[in-house]
Structure 1
Amino acid sequence: MTHTKESRQQLRQQLRQARRSLSTTEQANAAKHLVKQFQDNLQPLLINSPSPKKVALYLANDGEICPQYLCEFFWQSKIQTYLPVIDNQELKFAVYTESSQWQSNQYGIKEPVATEYLSPHDLDLVFLPLVGFDKQGGRLGMGGGFYDRTFANKKVHEEPLLIGLAHNCQQVDELPIESWDVPLQAILTPSSFIETKT
């Protein structure tokens, strides 16, 4: 399906504005509810498989839902946590701890300083930021394409499991998806856990 750049960009602007319009209190409450949604819905799916040992998150920016409470839950559960670092046109992942040192990338977003990086395909779970999503697993990002290029060759049922994190206001009925858009296996919001049909 082909869509105009303008239609995707217009939708992106509308959804970015919707998430940026949330108050500080609404943002904080949404972030706390993510942990409960994870515990109630995603953790049980992992009972019959090895617990995730390597999980990637992100630092919230531009009104994105913040995964910091999720991160703290993973730290308490002794699960290794990673953050993305831009490497040319793709992402590699650096370990994230309370003592991480920081640098800023070309977009002004903080990244951990590291000498060793984990390959994306060595992760068990990746929680992705997004601008918009639909129940079919479609994800509209900021437009840089970093996650799409990083996971372009990943088969749907291969690790890592790709899970979008979003505010409820970021859901649409159907996204204008392009051939290069990598589908999500699930979406976690403050009020729901959506398993996709991908």
Structure 2
Amino acid sequence: MTSHFDPRQTLRRQLRQARRNLPVTEQLDAASALVSNYIELLERLTIPPTKRVALYLSNDGEISPHLLCELFWQQNIETYLPVVQGKKLIFARYSVETTWQENIFGIKEPITAEYLAGNELDIVLLPLVGFDSKGGRLGMGGGFYDRTFEDKRADQTPLLIGLAHDCQEVKKLPIEGWDVPLQGILSPQQIIIV
């Protein structure tokens, strides 16, 4: 008989509450710190020029990549947002002219004819619920990113970079076999390269 106690679910609740409790000013400062850490991460990884980046619209206290998006637009880098398609994600082009619809979770998604598969992107910035210093990640539990990138090898594009607040770090995450590994994690105070 299985137990109703799931340590990953308990941890998700605690970490989601911690990020929701952050004051607005700290949220804004965190978004700003991501920009310089992102630039440093790219320098350290020495990757080819980036043409297509996916990010997300923050909700539930997630660290916001909105300033990174502005940087990408200034550099003429195409930006994409995740769109739920069945149990996986596809990525829709995002611009200032984007029109919106809500998905089954109440999250805004672009309405567009320009969709890409995950393997057509250079970098995917994804939200984390939790992370550890070894690059372990804990998502919301739906498995959308895991299923989307389940066949991706670490040396293939896109680079998967998790974004989180520092209060979401834990000593060691319980990792499952289906958890897709990241190549890096950015928080306001840390750059973790895996």
- Shorter-chain TM-score above 0.5: yes
> What is the CA–CA distance in structure 2 between the aligned matches of 1:5 and 1:79, rounded to whole Å?
44
Structure 2: gaps of 5 or more residues: none
Structure 1 moving runs of 4+ over 2 Å: none
> What is the CA–CA distance in structure 1 between the aligned matches of 2:76 and 2:34, rounded to whole Å?
19
Deviation at 1:173, TM superposition (A): 1.2
SS of the equivalent of 1:164 reads strand
CA-to-aligned-CA distance 1:23-59 (integer Å, 9 cap, x gap): 11110110011001112x2231355x42110000000
> What is the CA–CA distance in structure 2 between the aligned matches of 1:62 and 1:5, rounded to whole Å?
23
> What is the CA–CA distance in structure 2 between the aligned matches of 1:164 and 1:4, rounded to whole Å?
29
> What is the CA–CA distance in structure 1 between the aligned matches of 2:192 and 2:42, rounded to whole Å?
14
> What is the CA–CA distance in structure 2 between the aligned matches of 1:178 and 1:4, rounded to whole Å?
18
CA-to-aligned-CA distance 1:52-90 (integer Å, 9 cap, x gap): 100000000100000000000010011111000000000
- TM-score of the superposed pair, with normalisation by structure 1: 0.93
> What is the CA–CA distance in structure 2 between the aligned matches of 1:100 and 1:176, rounded to whole Å?
38
Alignment of 1:97-112 (within 5 A): 97-112=95-110
Partner of 2:80: 82
1:188 aligns with 2:171: no
SS of the equivalent of 2:189 reads coil
Larger deviation, residues 68-77 vs 110-119 = 110-119
> What is the CA–CA distance in structure 2 between the aligned matches of 1:123 and 1:157, rounded to whole Å?
14
Give me the CA root mean square deviation: 1.4
State the one-letter code of the partner of 1:16. R
Partner of 1:118: 116
Change (3 A) 1:193 1:114: same
Q: Percent identity?
A: 58
- TM-score of the superposed pair, with normalisation by structure 2: 0.95
Matched pairs, number: 192
Partner of residue 177 from structure 1, selected from 164, 167, 175: 175
Alignment of 1:27-38 (within 5 A): 27-38=27-38
Partner of 1:14: 14
State the one-letter code of the partner of 1:12. R
